[in-house]
Amino acid sequence: MDITKTQQKFLRSKAHHLKPVLWIGQNGLTESVTAEIESALDHHELIKIKLRVGDRDLKNKTVADICQTTHATQVQSIGNIVSIYRRNDKQPVIDLPK
Would you write out the chain's pLDDT as a tens digit for each of its 98 residues?
678 999 999 999 999 999 999 999 888 888 999 999 999 999 999 999 999 987 889 899 999 999 999 999 999 999 999 999 999 888 888 888 88
Report yes or no on 90 lying in a domain: no
Distance (Å, whole) CA 38 – CA 60: 19
Report yes or no on 95 lying in a domain: no
Query: What secondary structure letter does DSSP report for 14?
Result: H
Domain count, the chain: 1
Report yes or no on 93 lying in a domain: no
Which domain covers residue 57, as residue numbers? 5-85
Q: What is the pTM of this model?
A: 0.90
Report yes or no on 66 lying in a domain: yes
Distance (Å, whole) CA 96 – CA 98: 6
